[in-house]
Amino acid sequence: MSAVETRTMRLVLLGPPGAGKGTQAKVLEERFGVRQISTGDILRANVAQGTALGAQAKAFMESGKLVTDDIIIAMMENELAGKDSFLLDGFPRTVAQAQALGTLLERLHLPLTGVLLFDADRDTLFKRLTGRWTNARTGRSYHAEFNPPKVAGIDDVDGGPLVQRPDDTAEVVAKRLDTYERETAPLIAYYGSHATFSRIDALAPIATVSAAVNRAVAQSGTVLP
Ligand code: AP5
């Protein structure tokens, strides 16, 4: 992967399951060489490897609930250590996590450079998640209808196998969307008044969303107090 241009950025990608946070994080990673930190990918890797963290997280993930704040905050303190540029995908997801992130970044003198909210309606999110195919190793995702791979079941980029995530069944997706409304949507008010907050129309085609993200990133750089 060679980045087109490098830039220091510390972004929070906020939005409901299926809004396209992971899809756009991969585009930003490739364009700017900034690393995506996806709490969902880290947790899934731990579940797959059978670690103690994975054992703690598995039941929450399978039932569409959030993993507890104490587990996530400790995990992210480790992940963020020593990094001055990152794309946060799926974190923070509660007000307690946002407060912990704020305290940590203040201590490190690394303020956020942007918060992007990906906005989409429930019906669209439902269709996107139940039709998604993912490379379990890299987290890259495709959609059977909206973003198909060139060869069904194979990742265009690294040739790895594509699988359906166990939490992408209709029943668990409905629960994840409810969990988002209850526990994560309050972050829109939490971050909404800050200068770096941008609302992105995530219903548009992927390339159009990427263009809107690029515009928001170009305008960002003002730091959150
Ligand atoms: P996580 O892995 O973070 O899942 P999520 O937030 O539910 O988000 P998704 O990855 O499902 O959606 P996305 O927005 O990335 O969409 P994508 O780009 O793939 O979390 C999983 C679980 O882990 C949670 O339920 C929880 O248990 C736990 N967890 C994680 N973080 C946690 C935290 N901080 N605290 C507590 N627990 C935590 O796109 C979706 C589909 O749509 C794809 O098929 C894609 O190809 C397609 N698509 C994308 N954009 C478009 C577009 N513009 N047009 C058409 N199709 C599109």
What is the mean pLDDT of each successive set of 10 residues along the chain, which is 225 residues long?
Answer: 67 97 94 94 95 97 97 96 94 98 94 95 96 92 94 96 95 98 98 91 97 90 47
Q: Which CATH homologous superfamily contains domain 7-35+83-120+184-223?
A: P-loop containing nucleotide triphosphate hydrolases (3.40.50.300)
* Per-residue confidence (pLDDT) for residue 195, from 0 to 100: 78
* Per-residue confidence (pLDDT) for residue 219, from 0 to 100: 81
- What separation in Å is there between the alpha carbon of 49 and the centre of ligand 1? 21
26 lines ligand 1 (CB under 6 A): no
Q: Any residues with CB less than 8 A from the CB of 176 and at least 6 apart, and which? A: 17, 64, 129, 167
List, in sequence order, every residue forming a beta bridge with 183; answer none if it has no partner: none
Residue of 128, 140, 157 best suited for mutating to test ligand 1, as the one with most atoms within 8 Å of CB: 128
Atom of ligand 1 nearest to the CA of 93: 34
* Per-residue confidence (pLDDT) for residue 85, from 0 to 100: 93
Helical residues (DSSP H) of the chain, grouped into ranges: 21-32, 39-49, 52-62, 69-80, 95-108, 122-130, 170-179, 186-192, 206-219
Query: How big is the chain, counted in residues?
Result: 225
67 lines ligand 1 (CB under 6 A): yes
Rounded to two decimals, the pTM is 0.93
Task: Determine if residue 34 is left, alpha or beta; phi over 0 gives left, psi from -120 to 50 gives alpha, anything else beta.
Answer: beta
46 lines ligand 1 (CB under 6 A): no
* Per-residue confidence (pLDDT) for residue 54, from 0 to 100: 97
Rounded Cα distance between 200 and 214, Å, is 11
* Per-residue confidence (pLDDT) for residue 224, from 0 to 100: 43
Q: How many Cα neighbours within 13 Å face the side chain of 26? A: 14
The residues that are catalytic are 21, 93, 132, 165, 176
- Give the 3-state secondary structure of residue 37: strand
* Per-residue confidence (pLDDT) for residue 194, from 0 to 100: 82
140 lines ligand 1 (CB under 6 A): no
